[in-house]
């Protein structure tokens, strides 16, 4: 790329197409003969940016501002050059007095300052006059190094644990979050967002996968956990509190009702078990007597809380509860029964279907704004917000968690975070990067040229004045 100054600070861009390879970065090549020859052609528009830069209307306005300031700085350079020529001409042609020397010295130094600062500013973005001068076209040629340096600077000065912790602490996240959550509309908003996230998560999950995971987890957990001691302790507490009496009452009542309804069946069963040589009427008498005694026993047991049979049930349950906790054989039998039950297909189907029921229930609750789930979440958020807004200890605890999490992320993944900067800069097109940066800071850089002209002129005037004062 070759650039040459033009009126108004405009640059005429030329492509240098070489048969042996493309031109150097930043416009360092100049037209001339090479091994394969060269040819030049005017370029109407820049090629698309490899790094994805887009020059929008704002950028174009900035570039116009840069061009105006370039014209101003260049005009000032031409002005001091003209003043220098006129001052020198006045000295030699008209024999002007000593003032012409002062003017010429100031103008001469102003030209030097203007040219020096023009060179410095231009060298940032391209090679001045296309000359391959070392350490010019800094941005195009050093773009990747600048990206690495910028990434290291950000990592060392912005992603350090102390800086992040101090900044987060200064924000007072706990109190501000609490005051925000305490507002009903904000709690509603967070609740709605959580409901949306929950629905999305439940929709994404495949039922078959979740059912398999849940079923396997429940089965493995149930297989590994011994249930007999727990059952024994529970049964022991139930018996001690008399909680089993209602179950005994229910069983006795149901047994009484069944006997009343199925009396003929009981007598037929007794008669069917009698020897064949006994007379039929004897069998009926025995069956009737057995049925009446059985009905009387069940009725008494139902109606008498202190019935001996009830006491026997209490003693049996107490002994069974003790065996469940301490008897090895009883515990082993319970575990075998548990394994057999878990292995049955019906039980596995129930375990698998539990996820479907839970999923349906959760989706329905998430979609209903007046569901118990959403109302409780909303209430909990508002309560948490109110506590956070006033409880300093809770604020400190929350802020400590947040600071610890953020510090862990930035210290653990600092390289990955800074690589986003270095990789992004490395992916930018050198020319378009230079043009983009120049559009943003070029106008201010032109003031350096103007200041250099003015400061140079003043310095030259001062030096000339001192030299004249001391008779140099």
Q: How confident is the model at residue 268 (pLDDT cuts 50, 70, 90)?
A: confident
Nearest CA to 19 among 36, 41, 2?
36
Residue given tokens 């970065």 in the structure block: 25
Give the confidence band of 52 by pLDDT, cuts at 50, 70, 90.
low
To the nearest whole percent, how much of the chain has pLDDT over 90? 34
pLDDT band, very low/low/confident/very high, at 274 (cuts 50, 70, 90)? low
- In this predicted model, which residue has the larger pLDDT, 224 or 237? 237
- The label of the residue with tokens 């024999």 reads 95
Rounded to an integer, the average pLDDT of 305-315 is: 89
Count of CB atoms situated within 10 Å of the CB of 187: 21
Q: Mean pLDDT in the chain?
A: 83
Average pLDDT over residues 176-193: 94
| Structure token digits, residue 95 | 């024999």
Looking at residue 18, its pLDDT comes to: 34
Name the burial class of residue 79, with classes exposed (0-12), middle (13-18) and buried (19+) by CB atoms within 10 angstroms of its CB.
middle
Which of 16-30, 220-234, 439-453 has the largest mean confidence? 439-453
Question: How many Cα neighbours within 13 Å face the side chain of 146?
Answer: 15
Single out the residue of 106, 128, 101, 104 nearest to residue 116, CA to CA. Answer: 128
Nearest to 90 by CA among 107, 115, 73: 107
Q: What integer pLDDT is reported at residue 453 of this predicted model? A: 94
Average pLDDT over residues 337-356: 84
pLDDT, mean of residues 159-188: 91
**Does residue 3 register a pLDDT over 70?**
no
pLDDT in tens, 198-227: 989 888 888 788 878 888 888 888 888 888
What is the rounded distance in angstroms from the CA atom of residue 458 to the CA atom of residue 452? 10
| Rounded mean pLDDT, 365-393 | 92
Cα angle 117, 121, 23 (rounded to 5 degrees) comes to: 130
Q: What is the mean pLDDT of residues 388-417?
A: 92
Confidence check: pLDDT of 436 > 90: no
Q: What are phi and psi of 455, to 5 degrees?
A: -65, -40
Confidence check: pLDDT of 24 > 60: no
346 — pLDDT class (breaks 50, 70, 90): confident
SS (H, E, C) 419-442: HHHHHHHHHCCHHHHHHHHHHHHH
Residues 6 or more apart from 80 whose CB is under 8 A from it? 107, 110, 111, 114, 453, 457
Burial of 114 (0-12, 13-18, 19+ CB in 10 A): buried
Task: Map out the domains of the chain as residue ranges.
Answer: 7-141+429-469, 173-390
pLDDT band for 292, please (50, 70, 90 cuts).
confident
At 113-124, the pLDDT tens digits run 999 999 999 999
For the cut 60, the answer to whether the pLDDT of residue 193 exceeds it is yes
Q: In terms of C-beta density within 10 A (0-12 exposed, 13-18 middle, 19 or more buried), how is residue 234 classed? A: middle
Highest averaged pLDDT of the listed ranges 138-147, 259-268, 371-380: 371-380
Q: Is the model's pLDDT at 28 over the cut of 70?
A: no
From 6-10, 90-94, 253-257, 272-276, the region with the lowest mean pLDDT: 6-10
| pLDDT at residue 271 in the model | 67
pLDDT for 270 equals: 72
Whether the predicted pLDDT of 6 surpasses 70: no
Q: Which phi-psi region, left, alpha or beta, contains residue 95 (left: φ > 0; alpha: ψ -120 to 50)? A: left
Q: Are 88 and 416 in contact (CB under 8 A)?
A: no
The tokens 């948490």 sit on which residue? Answer: 384
- The pairs formed by 366-374 with CB atoms below 8 angstroms and a separation of 24 or more are 366/195, 366/196, 366/198, 366/199, 366/202, 367/195, 367/199, 374/191, 374/195
């Amino acid at each position: 790329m070759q650039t040459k100054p033009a009126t108004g600070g405009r640059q005429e861009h030329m492509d240098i197409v070489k048969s042996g390879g493309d031109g150097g970065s930043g416009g360092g090549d100049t037209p001339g003969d090479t091994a394969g020859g060269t040819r030049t052609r005017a370029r109407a528009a820049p090629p698309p940016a490899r790094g994805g830069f887009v020059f929008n209307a704002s950028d174009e306005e900035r570039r116009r501002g840069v061009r105006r300031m370039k014209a101003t700085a260049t005009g000032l350079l031409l002005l001091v050059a003209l003043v220098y020529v006129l001052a020198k001409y006045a000295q030699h042609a008209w024999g002007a007095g000593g003032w012409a020397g002062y003017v010429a010295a100031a103008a001469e130094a102003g030209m030097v300052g203007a040219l020096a600062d023009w060179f410095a500013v231009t060298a940032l973005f391209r090679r001045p006059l296309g000359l391959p001068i070392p350490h010019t076209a800094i941005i195009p040629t050093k773009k990747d190094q600048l990206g690495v340096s910028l990434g290291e600077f950000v990592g060392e000065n912005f992603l350090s644990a102390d800086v992040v912790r101090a900044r987060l602490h200064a924000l007072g996240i706990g109190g501000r979050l609490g005051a925000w959550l305490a507002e009903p509309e904000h709690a509603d908003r967070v609740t709605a967002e959580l409901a949306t996230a929950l629905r999305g998560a439940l929709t994404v999950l495949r039922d078959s996968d979740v059912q398999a995971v849940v079923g396997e987890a429940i089965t493995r957990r149930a297989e590994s956990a011994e249930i007999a001691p727990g059952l024994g302790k529970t049964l022991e507490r139930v018996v001690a509190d008399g909680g089993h009496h209602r179950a005994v009452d229910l069983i006795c009542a149901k047994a009484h009702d069944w006997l009343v309804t199925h009396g003929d069946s009981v007598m037929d069963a007794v008669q069917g078990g009698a020897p064949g040589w006994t007379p039929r009427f004897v069998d009926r008498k025995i069956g009737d007597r057995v049925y009446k005694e059985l009905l009387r026993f069940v009725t008494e047991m139902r109606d008498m809380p202190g019935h001996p049979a009830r006491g026997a049930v209490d003693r049996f349950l107490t002994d069974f509860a003790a065996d469940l906790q301490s008897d090895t054989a009883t515990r082993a039998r319970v575990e075998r029964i548990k394994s057999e039950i878990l292995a049955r297909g019906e039980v596995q189907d129930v375990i698998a279907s539990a996820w479907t029921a839970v999923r349906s229930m959760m989706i329905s609750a998430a979609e209903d704004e007046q569901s118990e789930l959403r109302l409780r979440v909303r209430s909990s958020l508002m309560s948490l917000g109110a506590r956070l807004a006033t409880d300093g200890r809770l604020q400190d605890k929350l802020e400590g968690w947040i600071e610890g999490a953020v510090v862990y992320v930035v210290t653990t993944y600092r390289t990955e975070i800074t690589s986003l900067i270095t990789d992004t800069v490395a992916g930018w097109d050198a020319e378009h990067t230079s043009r983009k940066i120049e559009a943003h800071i070029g106008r201010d850089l032109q003031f350096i040229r103007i200041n250099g002209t003015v400061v140079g002129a003043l310095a030259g005037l001062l030096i000339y004045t001192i030299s004249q004062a001391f008779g140099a």
